[in-house]
Amino acid sequence: MPTRGTNGGVGEAAKQVAEHASTLARLEMELAQLELKTKVTNLGLGAGLLIGGGIFALFALGFGLATVAAALATVVSTWLALLIVTGVVALVALVLALVGRGRVKKGTPPVPEQAIEEAKLTQTAIKTHG
């Protein structure tokens, strides 16, 4: 029986290397799982905080518009001040919707048309010169 420090043979060494490799692979998998779990947790918390921030920003916008309407109400009737603010908000919404629609039309269908055309030209060139 070989003792520590003596040669136990190639078979024994190969067995130990295989065991160490297996242990190392298992530990690396555990590390990867822990790392992914941490990243997913951070991602979830970050997304939740961003959504909360967006909700508060929406409330801030509403209060800002109410402030503008209240300021206008010192010059004109309250109903007219609210109507003016509503009209401006509707106009901004319309402009944003029209610009967004134009961008969507520009991006649809989501097919790389230029790349397809280049591939067809390349294919034709290969057929004619090949």
DSSP string, 47-104: HHHHHHHHHHHHHHHHHHHHHHHHHHTTTS-HHHHHHHHHHHHHHHHHHHHHHHHHHH
Where is pLDDT greater, at 120 or 53?
A: 53
Model confidence band, residue 3 (pLDDT cutoffs 50, 70, 90):
low
Q: CA nearest 105: which of 93, 97, 95?
A: 97
Asked if the structure places residue 56 within a domain, the reply is: no
Q: Where in the sequence is the domain holding 115, given as residue range(s)? A: 73-130
| Predicted TM-score of the model (pTM) | 0.58
**123 domain-assigned:** yes
In which residue are the tokens 């509707």 written? Answer: 90
Residue 101 lies in a domain: yes
Domain-embedded: residue 2: no
Identify whether the C-beta of residue 18 lies closer than 8 Å to the C-beta of residue 12.
Answer: no
For residue 46, being part of any structural domain is answered with no
Q: What is the pLDDT of residues 38-67, one digit of tens each?
A: 999 999 999 999 999 999 999 999 999 999
- Count of domains in the chain? 1
